[in-house]
Amino acid sequence: MADKEAKSIDQATIEMIEKAAEDGARVVFERAEKMRPCPIGAEGSCCKICAMGPCRVALPKGKTETAEEKRRRVGVCGATPETIAARNFLRMIAAGTASHGDHGRTMAKFLLAVAKGEAPGYEIKDEQKLLQLALDFGVAIGERSNEEIAIDVGEIMLKEFGKQDGELLFLKRAPLKRQELWRKLGVAPEGIDKEVAEAMHRTHMGTDQDYHDLLHNGVKVALADGWGGSMIATEIHDVLFGTPSPVASQINLGVLKEDEVNIIIHGHEPQLAEMMAVVSQDPEMIKYAKSKGAKGINLAGMCCTANEMLMRHGVPIAGNFLQQELAVVTGAVEAMVVDVQCIMQGLVDTANCYHTKVITTDRRAKIQGATHMEFDEHNAAESAKAIIKTAIDNFVNRGKNVRIPSQKTDMIAGFSHETINYLLGGMFRASYRPLNDNIINGRIRGVAGVVGCNNPRVTHDIQLDMVKELIKNDVLVLQTGCMAMASAKAGLMVPEAAAKYAGEGLASVCETVGIPPVLHMGACIDNTRILMAATAMVKDGGLGDDLSDLPVAGAAPEWMSEKALAIGQYFVGSGVFTVFGVTWPTIGNEEVTKLLFKDMEGMYGGMWAFEPDPIKAAKLMIEHIDKKRKALGIDKAGDRVLYDMEMRRELDAV
Ligand code: BF8
């Protein structure tokens, strides 16, 4: 088990934190030590939505109060601590949904630009996925070209953002029982932007002041993320860049190269990164790099752009969220190319100690002190070339103070839910049946999604303890975002990890199918792939008729972003038990926390939990999985059906 006081369990990270201190460079770990979290804000007891405040309504630790005192512990407007905590919580979910939604909207517009021939260099890569979307939306296929179909599909998706009436179309993908529940509870979302705007209105001073109502609205907004904005983004990524399939690569700061121009692509929206992957291989560019004394161009990823590029091109990953500044500290990065979300402003300050150029590329995300080179999708190759050339030109400025950690680990990524379907069931009988059968017979105890960020308030990558505990107990783990990277760095994302770390049952299934016990399913936006995988399990039968019946659980043990809260809330609203670590934003308020942690289960079949200890959190998830197994009557092992290659061939031959 990791030392809880340590800054990181990752050696490359520790080495670069030390180098930063030697070099006098500031990084997030140092800032987190100096800036302690505000205890009142951290527990959700500070209201700053109007100028009569900010009002602090926290009950001091260890203090009890009379009913009269509680009645007076309110904001200037009279808002109760419950209203304030719930309002803050809803605003965080709305911000997370807005971020994913804006990403989805950008992709819908981009799909239209590609289909209309306005974005040269891009094309429709996954025709099957496009046609599936056309069928979902009732778009005519016939003899029409992919581009004509894509225009209709893109326009329908774009309308999902501003729709004023009628439910989001992707809600129909959920199990029928879940859809009915959402309608009954009044949380079936309509337009994605409308839900975000309404949440901002509800939380304005003097509007919605019933914490039950506010928290239900939180579910509605979050569902507009998971079954709306995020799902739209994932689907379009797959249509335009290809649905991921297993691909081998490497991860950690050791992927940087001493003798090449190192360019890091960091952020979330993959259009530019996709073009940079192509342009960096252009012989003309490589020749130019050589003319500056480099042996080549080394593209590596950071954060979710890294996941996107890894899954589709095998581009190596330099690290997760807390390693972004540390990549600069190596002294070997010519350019850090960023777009939106999870870019630390501190990057510019760190880069000032080295030669690295921080290049912002998106009109929505500029950073003071960075170089802005706006990406133009209508002229993408030229944009990518200009950025890569800037990086190459910077190679000559690389100083002598270069130290690249040796750590890099092999990994396999690219487990889209379609790929899992195929890997488990075979090409002609793709299905989740073998997964369901192995859950029913007990070889696999259940499935857990372990997702989300890093947070310097806890030891970096400490969640590994959770993942190891889960797989040791035969729980198959699905991962996205920065958590996926932590597991990959520790060697959990190769098939051999099954024999080493997984329980006997899970290991036997992984060995038969040839998959790791921990599957990389993509970027944070791709948590919708986990929703789809869970839905496929319900539809395949034998595990109940709603998502809340499945022996599954979710976690974000090192979360930090508002997007993570939106994701957690759409999983809870979809019926999944979800545990968060680090801190909990309503913990100062008993009533609000009880509604989220307990009462929601009675309404949605899923609820939140907070447990900062990763092993204890894993145990909560396993307990929940066992509870669901019992309810399904599969808590006692039955006949074991394990589909080996021969059985699959027999099935395929039928
Ligand atoms: O969307 S996991 S730190 S990079 S928010 Fe950010 Fe968290 Fe990483 Fe991707 Ni997700």
CA of residue 146 to ligand 1 center, whole Å: 33
**What's the CA gap between 412 and 58, in Å, rounded?**
47
Please, are residues 119 and 249 in contact by the beta-carbon 8 Å criterion? no
State in Å: Cα 564 to ligand 1 middle.
8
pLDDT given at position 639:
46
Give the closest residue to 498 by CA, choosing from 517, 484, 512.
517
The backbone region for 341, taken as left when phi is positive above 0, alpha when psi lies in -120 to 50, beta otherwise, is left
Ligand 1 center–CA 584 separation, angstroms: 18
Pick the atom of ligand 1 nearest to 560's CA: 7
Which 3 state secondary structure label does DSSP give 441?
Answer: coil
Task: Tell me how far apart the alpha carbons of residues 566 and 568 are, in angstroms, rounded to a whole number.
Answer: 5
**Residue 557: how many CB atoms within 10 A of its CB?**
29
3-state SS string for 395-415: HHHCCCCCCCCCCCEEEEECC
Collapsing DSSP to helix, strand or coil, 270 comes out as: coil
| Locus of tokens 């487990």 | 415
How many residues would you count in the chain? 654
| CA within 13 Å, CB half, 54 | 10
| C-alpha 409 to ligand 1 mean position (Å) | 21
Ligand 1 centre from 32 Cα, in Å?
18
Calculate how far, in angstroms, residue 473's C-alpha sits from the geometric centre of ligand 1: 27
Ligand 1 pocket test target in 324, 342, 463 with most atoms within 8 Å of CB: 342
Cite the DSSP H helix spans in 53-145: 67-72, 81-115, 127-137
The confidence score (pLDDT) of residue 162 equals 95
Hey, what amino acid is at 251? I
Dist. CA 450–CA 554, nearest whole Å: 6
The C-alpha angle 263, 268, 271, rounded to 5 degrees, equals 75
Query: If residue 368 lies in a helix (H) or strand (E), which one and from where to where?
Result: none
Pocket test for ligand 1, best of 321, 460, 571 (most atoms within 8 A of CB): 321
3-state secondary structure string, 127-182? HHHHHHHHHHHCCCCCCCCHHHHHHHHHHHHHHHHHCCCCCCHHHHHCCHHHHHHH
Block means of pLDDT (10 residues each) for the chain, 654 residues, are 75 98 97 94 95 94 91 96 98 98 98 97 96 96 96 98 95 97 97 98 98 98 98 98 95 98 97 95 97 97 95 96 98 98 97 98 97 96 97 97 98 91 68 89 96 96 95 97 97 97 96 94 96 95 96 98 98 98 96 97 98 97 97 75 52 44
Residue with the smallest CA separation from ligand 1 atom 10 is 524
Q: Which of 265, 323, 266, 337 is nearest to 29 (CA)?
A: 323
Note the pLDDT of residue 3: 55
Taking the centre of ligand 1 as the mean of its atom positions, its distance from the CA of residue 542, in whole angstroms, is 34
CB within 8 Å of 34: residues ≥ 6 apart: none
Q: Which residue has the tokens 């016990």?
A: 517
* Helix spans in 544-596 (H): 562-573, 590-594
Query: Ligand 1: which of 92, 302, 453 to mutate, judged by most atoms within 8 Å of the beta carbon?
Result: 453
User: What is this structure's pTM?
Assistant: 0.95
Residues 6 or more apart from 60 whose CB is under 8 A from it? none
Residue 210 to residue 391: CA distance in whole angstroms:
53
Please name the amino acid found at residue 85: A
Name the residue with tokens 């947070």.
455
Residue 267 CA to residue 358 CA, distance in Å, equals 12
Residue 303 CA: which ligand 1 atom is closest?
Answer: 4
Q: Report d(CA 214, CA 202) in Å as an integer.
A: 8
Among all chains, which residue has been given the structure tokens 């954060």? 303
Helix (DSSP H) and strand (DSSP E) numbers for the chain: 29, 16
Task: Give the Cα separation of 621 and 618 in Å (integer).
Answer: 5
Nearest CA to ligand 1 atom 9: 304
Centre of ligand 1 to C-alpha 565, Å, is 11
> Can you name the residues that pair with 262 across neighbouring β-strands?
298
Backbone angles phi, psi at 154, to 5 degrees: -60, -40
Q: How far is the CA of 451 from the centre of ligand 1 (A)?
A: 9
Q: Which residue among 310, 524, 559 is best mutated to probe the pocket of ligand 1, counting the most ligand atoms within 8 A of its Cβ?
A: 524
Read off the amino acid at residue 397: N
Residue 258 confidence (pLDDT): 97
CA of 94 to the centre of ligand 1 (A): 16
Q: Atom 3 in ligand 1: which residue has the minimum CA distance?
A: 453
**Residues in the ligand 1 pocket, defined by CB under 6 Å:** 268, 303-304, 321, 342, 452-453, 481-482, 523-524, 561, 563-564
* pLDDT at 640 (0 to 100): 46
CA-nearest residue, atom 7 of ligand 1:
453
The C-alpha atoms of residue 180 and residue 611 are separated, in whole angstroms, by: 31
pLDDT of residue 654: 39
Contacts 24+ apart (CB under 8 A), 618-623: 618/465, 618/466, 618/469, 618/470, 618/473, 618/555, 619/469, 620/553, 620/577, 620/579, 621/448, 621/470, 621/475, 621/553, 621/555, 621/577, 621/579, 622/445, 622/446, 622/469, 622/470, 622/473, 622/475, 622/553
The answer to whether the bond into 270 is cis (omega within 30° of 0) is: no
Residues 6 or more apart from 518 whose CB is under 8 A from it? 467, 471, 477, 478, 479, 487, 492, 493, 497
